[in-house]
Structure 1
Amino acid sequence: MKKTLLSLAAIALLSACGAEQASSGPAAKADLTDTAFNPNFSDYLKTLSSDEFGGREPASKGGELTVSFIENYFKEWGLQPYNQETGSYRQEVPLMKLIPYKVSALTAQAGDQSLTFNYRTEMTAWTPKTDKKVTLEGSDIVFVGYGIVAPEYHWNDYAGLDVKGKTVVMLVNDPGYATGNDKLFNGNAMTYYGRWTYKYEEAMRQGAKAAFVIHETGPAGYGWGVVAGGSPVRFALNKGDQADANLAVEGWITADAADQMFKHIGSSLAQMKAKALEKGFQATPLNLTANMTIDNKVEFLSSNNVVGFIKGSKHPEQHVLYVAHWDHLGTDPIRADDPIYNGAQDNATGTAGLMAIAEKFAKAPQPERSIVFVAVTAEEQGLLGSEWYANHPMLPLGKAVAGINMDVLNVYGPMRDMVMVGYGNSELDDIVQPYLAEQGRYLRPEPTPEKGFFYRSDHFNFAKKGVPMLYAEGGIEHVTKGKEYGEKMHEEYINVAYHKPADEYDPNWDLRGAQQDLAVYYAVGRELANSEKWPAWTPGNEFEAIRQQSAEMRDGK
């Protein structure tokens, strides 16, 4: 990609708040170059990340304050409510809090011989079921390679296999990452099939009783401490009877534990990884049975997505989505020093950004297509609010033109670049670039596509329904301080503040960078809402087929 660097004049323009320009190109330059896109953004950010909101945990006092805060502004701006009959902007999201308060070791047994893997040090496990006690007893263990069924890649690790009642063990990530072969899956960039959440879902569809992913830091994108060192508490959507169809046990095992299992059949982890990549791979029974118990406590909770929209004048069912998660981790009463996880960057910035854009659209001329603003709950608990909305949308997602997700906006000042997560996935890249060029900026692919960040935020649930989604980050090349500064700030945030009480609002933040990005997101949404465009996924993308089905339904075929 050819870089478009900032000229000295553009730098000066970006640094000057409130600059006014005449209309030019597909969007008014005043929207794109004014680094005070919406001056109210900082006020929304300060309020959402304040101690009063208590870390915005779903189903808490702080969560209720957050929902009311967003809802009241949607009403003030005249957005149409989610529920037209009651006038409510709230979409209830039923949740379950699953607490595995006692987890045994996992034993892999063959006759009188057994291998024992201790909880947290060699394995970690939980149950998505609501049962008070879940037991694995004599469940045959089968190695299923990557645990993938991907017709578009002509790949089926479960071909000819019946795993009903069995325990499946599988590799993390996907074959493209393992080989670095650009012609296999998506090469080094993780696909949907590489996500551990997909692997559990596929194992459930295949009828397995339990599923364990083999942890390796490289292909997972994080160390064992991330997998096993945090809270064992899990959240899930309360789907009623569907909960009974879940796996009994989901979990991870260390690479060393997997190696011990494979040695039982005269093999090793390295050999089995190689075997999993062979053409015509067949799943391998390990001649071991899995045994363990989980004592489980369940709490049923309720939270809310907040949904408001502007009705299109010409095509009201066709719509553009703006999405951001309002929730964070709440308050930890055990911490004496600073118990509140304020989540200022994650994701008070994104929620404030969604509000700033909604306010701007509310004061603009009515668009031809509808624009839907969805502030979702329970992202930190597993993208649950967006999953619920995607399965219960206000308007059919087959008529969603595209969407923009905002999760952790830039607080470090104007950048020369914008980092696109999932770069190359869809035609949205091409729509974004002219607006960046008007700001004197360029689009940069994400630096670590193998870590699968495209599948780790709320846009993913919409992508699974076929909706092309833009998920970008502010950039790393600062206008005056350079790339090293941007990388340093990002690394410092991850190490010091991410999912920690230190993620607090700082009055010294330079929010001009966030305002830049909001201007681009606004311009992209405005273009899509006032055109006949239907951005497509890149040919071969794993979400292309469902988008094509939506297009056929949309066109009445």
Structure 2
Amino acid sequence: MKRTLVLLTALLLLPLAAQAQLSTPAEKSASRTIRAEALRAHVGFLASDLLEGRGPGTRGDALAQQYLATWFQLLGLKPAGPEGSYLQPFELVGMTGHPETLTFTAPQGSAALRFHDDFIASSGAQAEESVLQDSELVFVGYGIQAPEYEWDDFKGMDLKGKTLLILNNDPEDDPKLFGGKARLWYGRWDYKYEQAAKVGAAGALILHTTPSAGYPWQVVQTSWSGEQFELPASGARPRLQMKGWTTDEATRRVVQLSGRELDILRGMAQKRDFRPVPLGVKVSTRFVNQVRRRPTANVLGLLPGSDPKLSSEVVLYTAHHDHLGLKADAKPGEDAIYNGAVDNASGVAAMLEVARAFTALPKAPPRSILFAAVAAEEQGLLGSQYLAEHLPVHPGRVAANINIDGLNIHGRTRDVTVIGLGKSSLDKTLIALASGQGRLVRGDQLPDRGFFYRSDQFNFAKLGIPSAYFSSGMDFIGRPPGWGKERRERWEAEHYHQPSDELRPGWDFSGAVEDVQLFFLLGTQVARTKELPRWNKGDEFEAPRLQALEALKTEGAR
């Protein structure tokens, strides 16, 4: 935190005139081609009912892909997919099926939780049947193994075949551990399921509360109901039979069967010396799944760089084009379409406008620019995972990833929110560019939500690629203090992953235009600055970056 404040102070003291010189006249001129009308038009099509929520593998998904490929072609971008195509196709495994009840038995009695109201669960096995039969329930605290913090919630206990009850988030009482109030990957559900599978567990249940998740139970209900998708299973990767969530109230009933109190268990889990607690409760359930393979695709367009040497390196822009599709249990007359206007038709619209601004330059930048509209983000960052595993260039040749996930729809702001501020050298450029707009850069203003680990840039960061992910500020011009945060929290409570995320006439794209200009100008800087961006020393993603760059050297020496 101190390092970030020093960096911010030093840069804000630079003369504005010097900061403005970061961008060339041609770049500034191209940035002015980014228009609110174009953003609205792209969102209007991608979030229309015609595309039926852009669920993976659906007709709406294919329409979104074709729309993007057509725009890439119109803008003069080169196809960057296999066999001269704009599409990078891959398969998803879709599974539909859930148990009506989840049964817990103990000598003291039994409890049956109801699907949707008390728990949400999906099969972890890509099979027609998935069964838990009298699997022992073990409370494992936060389910974290973090050697750098000398933290291990499993303590070597044999957990094969068990069902793990796991707290959401990560310990936050000590500011020296796990970023304090900030959520790290250790606090994310995908990490917890992955760790549970690694230790051989049969099932994993994450205890949901709104503060620990960063979103209400209704988001779990909508995101984890209906068909669930994964990339095809690898034989070497361990799998759970069940991945699920339980409400706080339901979990208390289950824990009471063991004669323990949930709040006492929570308190125990805050300490390094915590050890797993077998609860003496057996878990049983059965999934009967419909399993099918469905095609989807990332859409890739390339603007080749103008420098003979640097053009082999790319600046990677990403935005996910998918959303949740149709509501499976919609009642007659109910809005059944998850339009995904903010999330993420708006981000795709922004990427298209960034691409148009790049093609408006009189000359392409030295480095190449790769635009990737990725699929199946809502299903667990699957499209970006596939792209990360099948990049058209070596990871060491990707200068940076600039990811766009959701735009500001409420007007202009005095600030910009940078998720992960303090992690990489990209901060310096971002701060200077934002200052040139007359705006202040702030770090994540909702650090407990773990946003850096919840969007597509995470898959590229794991490869060591320096990543920028920023969103609108919260200090809105002409609005009272706190208005922006209130709007953000209301949107998450009422519209996030709900059918009401629709384009509305009252949306104000003026602030979005400034944000998109910032996305563009950051890319131009990275594309023409000789020195590659880097993670700050000691950052969690520094090691894979150094490994990727070293691999390039070895490759070049052959």
Deviations 1:6-31 (A, max 9, x none): 9xxx9xxxxxxxxxx99951103675
Q: Which residue matches 1:16? A: none
Unaligned ranges ≥5, structure 1: 11-20
**Which of 34, 41, 53 lines up with 1:55 in the alignment?**
53
Q: What is the letter of the counterpart of residue 553 of structure 1?
A: A
CA distance in 1, matches of 2:50, 2:301: 24
**Which of 343, 348, 354 lines up with 2:345 in the alignment?**
348
Q: Which residue matches 1:357? A: 354
Change (3 A) 1:189 1:385: same
CA distance in 2, matches of 1:465, 1:43: 35
**Which of 240, 265, 272 lines up with 1:272 in the alignment?**
265
For the pair 1:196 / 2:189, whether they are aligned, the reply is yes
Q: Which residue matches 1:252? A: 245
Q: What is the letter of the counterpart of residue 60 of structure 2?
A: G
CA distance in 1, matches of 2:20, 2:272: 55
| Contact 1:37/1:519 (<8 A) preserved | no
CA distance in 1, matches of 2:497, 2:134: 39
For the pair 1:320 / 2:320, whether they are aligned, the reply is no
Aligned-residue RMSD, C-alpha: 3.0
| Contact 2:205/2:244 (<8 A) preserved | yes
Secondary structure at 1:354 match in 2:
helix
Counterparts of 1:82-93 in structure 2 under 5 Å? 82-83=80-81, 86-93=83-90
Q: Which residue matches 2:291? A: 298
Bigger CA drift: 435-444 or 307-316?
307-316
CA distance in 1, matches of 2:346, 2:246: 36
For the pair 1:285 / 2:278, whether they are aligned, the reply is yes
CA distance in 2, matches of 1:409, 1:284: 44
| Contact 2:252/2:262 (<8 A) preserved | yes
Q: Give the TM-score normalised by the residue count of structure 1.
A: 0.87
**Which of 150, 157, 161 lines up with 1:165 in the alignment?**
161
Q: What is the letter of the counterpart of residue 117 of structure 1?
A: L
Q: What is the letter of the counterpart of residue 342 of structure 1?
A: N
Q: In the TM superposition, what is the alpha-carbon distance from 1:35 to its structure 2 partner?
A: 7.9
Counterparts of 1:96-495 in structure 2 under 5 Å? 96-110=93-107, 113-175=109-171, 177=172, 179=173, 181-228=174-221, 232-242=225-235, 245-260=238-253, 262-263=255-256, 267-312=260-305, 313=307, 314-332=309-327, 334=331, 336=333, 338-364=335-361, 365-495=363-493
| Contact 2:101/2:112 (<8 A) preserved | no
| Contact 1:103/1:293 (<8 A) preserved | no
CA distance in 2, matches of 1:495, 1:169: 26
CA distance in 2, matches of 1:95, 1:503: 25
Secondary structure at 1:278 match in 2:
coil
| Contact 2:326/2:336 (<8 A) preserved | yes
| Contact 2:465/2:545 (<8 A) preserved | yes
Aligned residues: 538
CA distance in 2, matches of 1:280, 1:325: 41
Identical amino acids, percent of aligned pairs: 36
Q: In the TM superposition, what is the alpha-carbon distance from 1:231 to its structure 2 partner?
A: 5.7
Unaligned ranges ≥5, structure 2: none
CA distance in 1, matches of 2:159, 2:514: 52
Q: In the TM superposition, what is the alpha-carbon distance from 1:212 to its structure 2 partner?
A: 1.2
Change (3 A) 1:373 1:473: same
Secondary structure at 2:97 match in 1:
strand
Bigger CA drift: 202-211 or 253-262?
253-262
CA distance in 2, matches of 1:132, 1:483: 53
Bigger CA drift: 309-318 or 500-509?
500-509
CA distance in 1, matches of 2:385, 2:75: 27
Bigger CA drift: 406-415 or 42-51?
42-51
Deviations 1:68-119 (A, max 9, x none): 11111212222221236x3201011311221124333222335x85444343
CA distance in 2, matches of 1:268, 1:22: 60
Secondary structure at 2:84 match in 1:
coil
Q: What is the letter of the counterpart of residue 108 of structure 1?
A: T
CA distance in 1, matches of 2:155, 2:254: 22
Q: In the TM superposition, what is the alpha-carbon distance from 1:439 to its structure 2 partner?
A: 0.5
CA distance in 1, matches of 2:455, 2:531: 25
Q: What is the letter of the counterpart of residue 45 of structure 2?
A: T
Secondary structure at 2:186 match in 1:
helix
Deviations 1:463-495 (A, max 9, x none): 222222211112222233354543454345445
Q: What is the letter of the counterpart of residue 214 of structure 1?
A: L
Q: Give the TM-score normalised by the residue count of structure 2.
A: 0.87
| Contact 1:35/1:516 (<8 A) preserved | no
CA distance in 2, matches of 1:219, 1:339: 28
Secondary structure at 1:193 match in 2:
helix
| Contact 1:170/1:213 (<8 A) preserved | yes
Deviation above 6 Å: which 4+ runs of structure 1?
none
| Contact 2:210/2:216 (<8 A) preserved | yes
Q: In the TM superposition, what is the alpha-carbon distance from 1:191 to its structure 2 partner?
A: 0.4
Change (3 A) 1:494 1:224: closer
CA distance in 2, matches of 1:149, 1:234: 31
CA distance in 2, matches of 1:347, 1:220: 20
Q: In the TM superposition, what is the alpha-carbon distance from 1:433 to its structure 2 partner?
A: 0.4
Q: What is the letter of the counterpart of residue 503 of structure 1?
A: D
Q: What is the letter of the counterpart of residue 345 of structure 1?
A: V
